[in-house]
Amino acid sequence: MRKLIAALVLGLPLISAAADRPADLQALPEVPPPPAAVPDDTEPQITIKQKGENKIEEYSMHGHVYMIKVTPPKGKPYYLIDTKGDGQFSRQDGLGPDVHPPMWVIHSW
């Protein structure tokens, strides 16, 4: 008796779904291909130059240079950053004093 009730309960949604389906169903049209790839202007363009012994990497976006990375043959690289957008670059070594990495207490005694 339980098997009959279970079969009716499980089969009832299938029967009602088939009864609600219209008779004149048609297949969906083919999905059109995606449009041609448009160049993404959100990524910076990087130009690498050699000036003397230094390697110069210029980072620009929309034709405007906003950061220059200078890598000398000896020593650490440094950055020249146009913070105001007026073409005046200021030197920053490493991440700078304004960068504060997140710190959490993992365990304390």
Where along the chain do its domains lie? 45-92
CA gap 66, 81 in Å, rounded: 6
- Quote the CATH superfamily of domain 45-92: Protein of unknown function DUF2782 (2.20.130.30)
Give the tens place of pLDDT for each residue, 59-109. 998 888 888 999 999 888 888 888 788 888 887 665 556 665 666 667 777
Write the single-letter amino acid at 26: Q
CA gap 56, 71 in Å, rounded: 6
Among residues 57, 59, 67, the alpha carbon closest in space to that of 88 is found at: 67
Q: How confident is the model at residue 20 (pLDDT cuts 50, 70, 90)?
A: low
